[in-house]
Chains A and B, each alone.
Chain A
Amino acid sequence: MREQQRPVLSARGLVKTYGAVVAIDGVDLDLYAGEVLAVIGDNGAGKSTLIKCLTGAEVPDVGTIRVDGNEVRFRRPQDAQEVGIETVYQQLSLAPALDIASNVFLGRERRRPGILGSVFRMLDHAGMRKEAAEKVDSLGIRTLQDITQVVETLSGGQRQAVAVARATAFGSRVVVLDEPTAALGVRETSQVLDVIRELKARGLGVILISHNMPNVFEVADRIQIQRLGRRAGVITPESHTPAEAVAIMTGAVTVDDEEETGDEA
């Protein structure tokens, strides 16, 4: 089925080094529209580095990235955002001193209609607050009532919810989530999984990085396993059990990386 389809986001041979540290060492990745691709791996396996390269937060040393088949060179996160790729980074890109609404709309603020917006550049505070409240509400974080609350005063999980709300609100092609549920309670986690399924239903591609195997096996269509900066294999929840996935992750078992493809330009 996938063979005829073109990936919405694909990477070939990505390398990123930090001085002597090789974070990722020639990684390939394919993400199709309407699927959830989970990326798993031990701490330091290069998952975050991989998605930073895919989303413009880092520029890979070597390798190519294609969006809908067209090669792109992202130099900053804004470049990726402009083609509809939104990301929740592991270290959360929120401004602590700004309120929730400002953070949801950070970098793409909405202006008032008419002369107030065009000449006086006035922000549509009320409109942004209303919309931000809807986005955050849809994640069902019960304790988040005041959209004008400063992010600094939020708990870790609430901040994570704000970051997820922002990414899901603006992603139009791909949403990348780097451990989005790490600080979330059980109920909030299942809300985020619902949102992921909703994005998938809307035809977006979703990359989910998580250490939570039950979550991964519940929501993912395919699972890419990273090990020591390389892709150790791509499996599906049907083809492998969580225990087998962990065995591949730790190197106890090796699989043929059946998706090992040449450059399918």
Chain B
Amino acid sequence: MTHTVQQTAAEAFRSRPLTPLQRVQRVLHRHPAISPLVVLIGAVIVFALINDRFLQPANLSLILQQVSIIGALAVGQTLIVLTAGIDLSVGAIMIFVAMVMGTLAGEAGVPGVLAFLVGMVVGALAGLLNGVLVSVWKLPPFIVTLGTLGIFTALALLMSGGRAIRGDQLGGFLTWTSTTFAVGPFQLTVGVVLVLVLYAVGAYALSQTAWGRHVYAVGDDPAAARLAGIRTTRVLLSVYITAGVIFALSAWVLIGRVGAATTNSAVDANLDSITAVVIGGTSLFGGRGGLIGTLIGALIVGVFRNGLALARVDVLWQTLAIGVLIIAAVSLDQWIRRAGAQR
């Protein structure tokens, strides 16, 4: 009976002292949005000091409009990355859907709302295609979406024949996302608001619904999620279809922002959406991160490009800076993950 108050070995191990660095690691591990937020605030301060035009409402409004397309795509990309996937076809799906909407409304004379709805269905089907290949056929997401990147890019080009469909041919509904309105000193567009709504709804679904828990669980450890009683294939399919719908909504934002349906815009969107997700602290290994981080990540990309441009830094240096950011973000993620491994 002398042993009753002794700790077990496991308990002693648990209560070992931590160094300050380990504490930081643990905090970041629990709240992955903190590190990108620090980067964003730091960047805003630096760019505001370099150029006093940076913080003016007109410029901040411009940044929001500039990041709206990548920001929209990054919502769907985040869902997919949370399941330990990756989608290289996001931009291709968006442009393909934009051409479907544009061709129907601008050339076939279909009412804008109907063209929009057809576009949404096409986006969902594109997501379904990726989802079936990944979750049912169990192919690696990287390879699947590399393939569908080619397929949808080609389909969009075949459909457009190289021509752009101008905004005045598209009708009011499809270009409604370009409508601007003032909120205090800021000029917002309907497209920007739509993107913010996407973030709000997505963040709610991820944090407050059972579906959100399941997305994290499947990305974290699919075998464990299955043993816990989660229909993993269904969750994956739902993620890819939802993402497809989001990419179709991104097409609507794109048409408004460009003022036309064209295959020549947003060609870098695939990689930029991944950049926003990664900088935002969502782990490419799945199961960790979220939309708040991605929103911050997209804003970081926008702030860097805009701020460096205002500081008259060459576009190539902007690209280089973003590249450095990506590697820094992934390194940080690895370091934070070690907190999990060391326990």
Contact = CB atoms under 8 A, between A and B. Distances in A.
Interface of A: 57, 76-78, 81, 87, 89, 91-98, 102-103, 106-109, 111, 120-123, 125, 142-143, 150, 152-158, 183-188
A187 B8 contact: yes
Contacts of A123: 208-210, 213
Contact of A78 (B14, B223, B229): B229
Contacts of A106: 213, 217, 225, 228-230
A142 B229 CA distance: 28
B242 to A, nearest CB: 14
Contact of A95 (B10, B15, B287, B343): B287
B226 A158 contact: no
Interface of B is mostly: helix
B221 A188 contact: no
A133 to B, nearest CB: 18
A142 B30 contact: no
A98 B8 contact: no
A202 B313 CA distance: 73
Contacts of A155: 10-11, 13-14, 343
Contacts of A93: 223-228
A106 B8 CA distance: 28
B228 A94 contact: yes
Given A106-B225, A121-B208, A185-B9, 8 more contacts: A87-B227, A91-B223, A91-B227, A102-B213, A122-B209, A143-B11, A150-B30, A157-B10
A121 B230 contact: no
B231 interface: yes
Contact of A111 (B210, B225, B228): B210
B340 A153 contact: yes
B228 A95 contact: yes
Contacts of B225: 93, 95, 106
13 contacts: A57-B226, A76-B231, A91-B227, A97-B220, A98-B217, A102-B213, A111-B210, A121-B210, A152-B343, A155-B14, A156-B10, A185-B8, A185-B11
B8 A186 contact: yes
A33 to B, nearest CB: 22
Contacts of B228: 77, 93-95, 103, 106-107
B166 interface: no
A189 to B, nearest CB: 10
B216 A97 contact: yes
A103 B230 CA distance: 12
A160 to B, nearest CB: 10
Contacts of A97: 216, 220, 287-288
A95 B217 contact: yes
Interface in B186-239: 208-211, 213-214, 216-217, 220-221, 223-231
A188 B216 contact: no
Interface in B31-65: none
Contacts of B9: 185
Given A96-B287, A185-B11, A153 B343 contact: yes
Q: Which 7 A-B pairs have the closest CB atoms?
A: A185-B8, A93-B227, A107-B229, A109-B210, A95-B217, A157-B10, A78-B229
Determine which residue in A87, A121, A152, A184 has the highest number of CB atoms from chain B within 10 A of its CB, and name it: A152
Interface string B2-39: 01100011110111000000000010011000000000
A143 B30 CA distance: 19
Contacts of A157: 8, 10
Contacts of A108: 229
Contacts of B223: 91, 93
Nearest to B11: A143
A32 to B, nearest CB: 25
A156 B220 CA distance: 17
Nearest to B340: A152
A98 B212 CA distance: 11
Given A123-B208, A158-B14, A57 B227 contact: yes
A87 B229 CA distance: 10
Contacts of B217: 95, 98, 106
A153 B26 contact: yes
B74 to A, nearest CB: 20
Interface string B249-289: 00000000000000000000000000000000000000110
A155 B8 CA distance: 12
A100 to B, nearest CB: 13
A131 B308 CA distance: 52
Nearest to B207: A123
A143 B224 contact: no
Determine which residue in B224, B227, B287, B340 has the highest number of CB atoms from chain A within 10 A of its CB, and name it: B227
B180 to A, nearest CB: 31
